[in-house]
Structures are given as structure tokens and as C-alpha cells.
Amino acid sequence: MIFLSYYLHEGLKTEYLTIKTLFSNIEKKGFKKYFGLISCLLVIEQNNEFLLKNHEARPIGSTPFPEVNMTTHDYYTDRNIDHIVGDESAKK
């Protein structure tokens, strides 16, 4: 039935060729089995959902959290800055 429709209707011919091209491209990407493709697509979908949740929580252009990612604190640098500011206020 499919082969008869393929020769009778031009739209079905292009649809068949599109599907055939899709599967040949999948094989060229290295997926030998359909299961490998599906598992890869599921991982991609999970990553996409994760990125969307992160974007909704902190949209682009929002102000960053102050010093959230700071791992070390330089005591002497802060002390020197306070000392310099103190000297400037004492001179006035």
C-alpha cells in the first residue's frame, strides 16, 4: 500500500524521502540503535528543563548575589583598605 501511494501521490514521495533522509542522518551521527538516540534525546531534554528552571530563577540582567562564589577572604587587604580610608578622613 505504501509503495502504491509513493508512486501515485507526489506529496507522499517527498514525505517518504524526508523520513528516509532523517534516518540516514541519524545513522551518520553514530547511532546504531534507536534506543541510543532516545536515551541521548532524554538527557538533552532534562538539561534543557534544568537550564530553563535556572533562567526563571535568575533571569538575564538581574543583579548577581554579592560575593556568593567567594571562596577565600583576604583579611589583610580589607584591613589595609580600612587603614587607608581612616588616614584620608584624619587628614581632612
- 22, 31 Cβ separation under 8 angstroms: no
- 16, 6 Cβ separation under 8 angstroms: yes
pTM of the model: 0.39
Please, what is the Cα angle at 77 between 74 and 68, to 5 degrees? 45
- 6, 12 Cβ separation under 8 angstroms: yes
pLDDT-derived band at 79, boundaries 50, 70, 90: low
Q: What is the pLDDT of residues 32-65, one digit of tens each?
A: 777 888 888 899 999 999 999 988 888 777 776 6
Nearest-angstrom CA–CA distance, 1 and 19: 17
